[in-house]
Structure 1
Amino acid sequence: MNLTLAEIARCLGTLADEGFENTVVTEVKTDSRTVEPGDLFFCIAGENYDGHEFAAQAAASGACAIVASRMIDKLDAPIIMVRDTKAALGRLAACWHDTCGAKLVAVTGTAGKTTVKEMLHAVVSRKFATAKNYRNFNNQIGLPVSMLKASADQELWIMELGISRLGDMEELAPVASPDLAIITNVGPGHLEGLGDEAGVASAKTTLLRYLRQGGRAVIGKDYPLLWNAALELVDAPVGFSGRDDADTDFFAVFLGAASDGRGRFRLRTPDGDGELTAPFLGAHYAENLACVAAAAHCLGLSRDDVVEGVNAMTADPQRFCCKIGKGITVIDDTYNANPLSMAQSVRTAREMAGEKPLVLVLGDMRELGKEAMALHEELGRVLREVAPAMVFYKGDHFLDVERGFGGYMREADKPEAFLEAWRELCITEGVVLVKGSRSLKMEQFANVLCRTLDARAQGGGL
């Protein structure tokens, strides 16, 4: 960002004090511990903290000014007063976007949005100077901070938008004001705040109301609730699909694993149809690949650009990342979980295992509200469908999953206890999927198993 305090004051609808015209802001910060000389500090109030209480610390660290919604005494820095600091942060990001004139791509959806953002960035950054938000910094603070980190010479900004309750998209979408809106899919995620799948579709497609003039929409066509909701808001959305029988110009299907552990996919676009390999595996990645191909096409890129971009990617270590150790493939998919992504991952793991044993190490799916019991029972039925050799489970919904599964499961509260139970299975080949909501820290289970397999591969036994 390269704005003066005077320009920022005008963006926020306040008067510029003397000296503001000559003060250039280095960066915007919301955490006082990271403030450096020349930064602008926003006092954001959260559930468990209030940034106003740390304004003095930010000023002492060299903040050039403080944005606050209430008066703060004895502060050695100028104060810009606003009614709501979080809303003001969004207004400033939108103002910076308008100043730069960059084209903005907004990505949302129940599952796969971070993967699509990263994959699209890998593709388009080969042609354009491109900005993106870090991992899933996608809420009312993360989105504007990410936009404010983008520079004026980056001509394309790819920004992920994440929502968990009604009204979130109404706050995020006008900040992004996209030229291209991507909605990957909808499913039963964040039902505690969004109600049901129809509510999720309605909330996600609210983004389309804030498309810039001439803007386009890329929508998952495999989800009727989403597609129909989108058709009510835009005339000609670009559809994509993870099924080869879909009526769309953009589809991809997963063909299985290559000998080097990479994924084999078929990708069809108006530019061509054929096979490619990529550093990821699974049918759900086919949907993401088709989505990226459709978005890239809208941005003027070809199928070849997509193939080259995805081939240059490095797999995310917590997003269906396969770690092969002497006959056992451990799939670390621990970044997060909802019913849609969980079912996709479980079925893909079964496909990868083939006739070999499949072991599932799973945890609760959080933020499902009143539907939590039923959706965990449904997960159990998905598990029964794939016939795993063993299910290890961590979380409050063990009994709900077990009821749907109808078979024997083992609790896995701690990684060490899981490891002891794993040794009892005496499995020498197969696939292990580890997945659960982020707060459960399921990566600890994947890590301890991988360390054990590495030791075995080096002759250290089990």
Structure 2
Amino acid sequence: MKIEQLYQRFDTCTGVCTDTRKIEKNDLFFALKGDNFDGNKFASQALASGAKYCVVDEKSYAIDDRYILVENVLETLQNLATFHRDTLGILIIALTGSNGKTTTKELINAVLLKKYKTTATLGNLNNHIGVPLTLLRMDETTEIGIVEMGANHPKEIALLCEIAHPDYGLITNFGKAHLEGFGSIEGVIKAKSELYDYLMAHKKTVFVNENDPIQVKQTQNYDQVYKFGLNSSTDTRLEIINTQPYVTLNYNGSEIKSQLTGTYNFNNIAVAIAIGSYFKVAPEDILNAIEAYTPTNSRSQILKKDSNNIIMDAYNANPTSMMAALENFKQLHQERKLVFLGDMFELGNTAETEHQSIVDYLEANNLGEIYLIGENFFKTKVNHNSIKKFQTFDALKLHLQDHPIKDSFLLIKGSRGMALERILELL
């Protein structure tokens, strides 16, 4: 079936779904395949659950006209999303980066919502499936789409750009993330800059943090750049007033008090303010949006549990984000501080070196008591008796049962797979 014909059927559906457990009446179901499943086998179940049509790529499952047979379901989903995006003609802002993508996306959305009808990526649905689903959620009322793009291998951002056709874009930063797939920090820079490559090739606008030398270098020969940062020569100039415990900054003569901690979040806030300024959102509306934004989902949340105060930053971790969190925590003036760090994943053959580098930093800086959790941290060499290692979460749990923590200020940071938010239950 041609994409134009499929689009006509899509237009009669209420939405798109790839999971039979989440089917809503009159959805268009895409029978995706994975390493351990074949969505074709669930097509009939999708129809029984209320789907109007099912897109399949195995002929034996296409038993009546409710089944739409295509060559490849995933490619069809992506092509339909591109066709839909181009048909609507929505302005698309794309963002990627090693750290802070989701927080930055949510801040941008909060600011732009003050003036525009937006549709933004839900959670971190930012891959080759999530980006098409985000585009297909947009409709005629959407004025600006905000599309988060994630990647752990080269050419993935390039593919997502070919799907989303962004008009504007930004890269939050370049850090030591997904080194297993990118190979090195140079590989990270090259892969993330695929967004710049697309935007520059299509004469689109790039938002650049002037205080990030890599961003400046990667866009130095391009003139459609909107700059922001601490320099007086930028298009949107900002000033840091304080970052402890929350980021406070000056914009347009007004003081903005955010609910986010750390210098690294200043950069995320700065992006949102710059984009709001570019799209002519009133300064007072920008201020209100930033001050009202509350972090969720274990991303730089400041929580209280009994007598303990906690910076919960356990949604994800890599060497760059972990070091930034530790630097921020070091600056906090608190009487009793404790740090819980979980393993960092997807580092490939650099895992041993990167985990040892974190331990070396901890030994050289006084951050209070340190608890390291996971196989990688357990293998590190530790010389300081303030640092305790636990091979498993269960080992940590047993320790805390005998050594309860009270009246302390805690940092909890680790990769998603470590699920360190479970520590809250132990306090």
Q: What is the TM-score of this pair, normalised by structure 1?
A: 0.84
Q: Decide whether the 8 Å contact of 1:349 with 1:431 is kept in 2.
A: no
1:226 offset after TM fit, Å? 3.7
Q: Decide whether the 8 Å contact of 1:131 with 1:158 is kept in 2.
A: yes
| Other-structure match for 1:143 | 131
| Other-structure match for 1:335 | 315
The one of 395, 405, 410 equivalent to 1:432 is 410
Partner amino acid for 1:420? Q
The one of 400, 412, 415 equivalent to 1:419 is 400
The one of 201, 215, 229 equivalent to 2:218 is 229
* SS, match of residue 72 in structure 1: helix
1:301-316 to 2 correspondences below 5 Å:
301-316=281-296
1:55 offset after TM fit, Å? 1.5
The structure-2 alpha-carbon separation of the partners of 1:384 and 1:250, relative to structure 1 and needing over 3 Å to count, comes to farther
1:389 offset after TM fit, Å? 2.0
After superposition, the C-alpha distances for 1:182-218 in whole angstroms (9 at most, x for unaligned) are: 1100101011111211111111111123339552111
1:321 offset after TM fit, Å? 0.9
Distance in 2 (CA, whole Å) between partners of 1:438 and 1:275 is 34
1:157-168 to 2 correspondences below 5 Å:
157-168=145-156
Matching of residue 360 in structure 1 with residue 339 in structure 2: yes
* SS, match of residue 387 in structure 2: coil
The one of 286, 290, 294 equivalent to 2:270 is 290
1:35 offset after TM fit, Å? 2.3
Moved more, 31-40 or 102-111: 31-40
The structure-2 alpha-carbon separation of the partners of 1:58 and 1:77, relative to structure 1 and needing over 3 Å to count, comes to farther
The structure-2 alpha-carbon separation of the partners of 1:16 and 1:127, relative to structure 1 and needing over 3 Å to count, comes to closer
1:372-411 to 2 correspondences below 5 Å:
372-399=351-378, 401-403=380-382, 408-411=387-390
The structure-2 alpha-carbon separation of the partners of 1:326 and 1:306, relative to structure 1 and needing over 3 Å to count, comes to same
| Other-structure match for 2:348 | 369
| Other-structure match for 1:104 | 92
| Other-structure match for 1:275 | 255
1:196-211 to 2 correspondences below 5 Å:
196-211=184-199
1:36 offset after TM fit, Å? 3.4
Q: Decide whether the 8 Å contact of 1:380 with 1:405 is kept in 2.
A: no
| Other-structure match for 2:179 | 191
1:39 offset after TM fit, Å? 1.4
Distance in 2 (CA, whole Å) between partners of 1:184 and 1:305 is 23
After superposition, the C-alpha distances for 1:92-120 in whole angstroms (9 at most, x for unaligned) are: 11111122222111111100110011111
The structure-2 alpha-carbon separation of the partners of 1:228 and 1:84, relative to structure 1 and needing over 3 Å to count, comes to farther
Distance in 2 (CA, whole Å) between partners of 1:306 and 1:69 is 47
Distance in 1 (CA, whole Å) between partners of 2:186 and 2:383 is 24
The one of 73, 85, 93 equivalent to 2:81 is 93
Q: Which stretches in structure 1 are left out of the alignment for 5+ residues?
A: 1-8, 450-462
| Other-structure match for 1:250 | 237
| Other-structure match for 1:452 | none
Distance in 2 (CA, whole Å) between partners of 1:240 and 1:406 is 44
Q: Decide whether the 8 Å contact of 2:204 with 2:224 is kept in 1.
A: no
After superposition, the C-alpha distances for 1:68-103 in whole angstroms (9 at most, x for unaligned) are: 222133634533333322222111111111222221
Q: Decide whether the 8 Å contact of 1:220 with 1:226 is kept in 2.
A: yes
Distance in 1 (CA, whole Å) between partners of 2:341 and 2:9 is 56
Matching of residue 446 in structure 1 with residue 424 in structure 2: yes
The one of 35, 44, 53 equivalent to 1:56 is 44
The structure-2 alpha-carbon separation of the partners of 1:93 and 1:405, relative to structure 1 and needing over 3 Å to count, comes to farther
The structure-2 alpha-carbon separation of the partners of 1:404 and 1:289, relative to structure 1 and needing over 3 Å to count, comes to farther
Moved more, 325-334 or 100-109: 325-334
Partner amino acid for 1:438? R
The one of 208, 214, 218 equivalent to 2:207 is 218
Partner amino acid for 1:267? N
Q: Decide whether the 8 Å contact of 2:70 with 2:76 is kept in 1.
A: yes
1:108-147 to 2 correspondences below 5 Å:
108-147=96-135
Matching of residue 82 in structure 1 with residue 96 in structure 2: no
Distance in 2 (CA, whole Å) between partners of 1:103 and 1:264 is 30
The structure-2 alpha-carbon separation of the partners of 1:404 and 1:419, relative to structure 1 and needing over 3 Å to count, comes to closer
Partner amino acid for 1:446? L
Distance in 2 (CA, whole Å) between partners of 1:236 and 1:384 is 45
Q: Decide whether the 8 Å contact of 1:359 with 1:390 is kept in 2.
A: yes
1:357 offset after TM fit, Å? 2.5
Q: Decide whether the 8 Å contact of 2:210 with 2:227 is kept in 1.
A: yes
1:317 offset after TM fit, Å? 4.2
After superposition, the C-alpha distances for 1:380-402 in whole angstroms (9 at most, x for unaligned) are: 23323441221112111124554
Partner amino acid for 1:331? I
Identity of aligned residues (%): 28
Q: Decide whether the 8 Å contact of 2:247 with 2:265 is kept in 1.
A: no
Distance in 2 (CA, whole Å) between partners of 1:267 and 1:404 is 43
Tell me the C-alpha RMSD between the 2 structures: 2.7
Partner amino acid for 1:329? N
Distance in 1 (CA, whole Å) between partners of 2:352 and 2:233 is 35
In the alignment of these two chains, the number of paired residues is 423
Distance in 2 (CA, whole Å) between partners of 1:421 and 1:235 is 61
